Amino acid sequence: MKVAVVTGAAQGIGRRTAEILAEGGFALALIDLREPSETLAALKNRNADGLSFAADITRENAISEFATVRSSTSLRSPDWLALPIAPLTTLPSTD
């Protein structure tokens, strides 16, 4: 099964993106500032697999925390990333 990471998954575009990916057979790793547990519950009612995680993806350590949580589940490394809500202007610089 393919795995997708979806940011902003608690509502709006992120939630709809997660729904479309679930319909396509993806397992989902859902991330948002507020835990997207309602999105995950709705998707599990449609037989989708996944996890939800509350994090601010603009913080570098949040990504590491998420990776640790994901690796402790049955979800394998993601095949696809959906970042419909990623505020690119606030991501940390690599310089």
Give the number of residues written for the chain: 95
Predicted pLDDT of residue 90: 52
> What are the CA-CA distances from residue 9 to residues 42, 90, 93 (Å)?
12, 19, 24
Given a cut of 60, whether residue 49 has pLDDT beyond it is yes
Given a cut of 80, whether residue 88 has pLDDT beyond it is no
* φ, ψ dihedrals at 62, nearest 5°: -65, -40
The pLDDT of 4-25, averaged and rounded, is: 93
Rounded (10°) CA dihedral 40, 2, 79, 54: 10
Residue 77 CB neighbour total at 10 angstroms: 10
Q: Which domains does the chain have, with CATH numbers?
A: 3-89 (3.40.50.720)
pTM of the model: 0.80
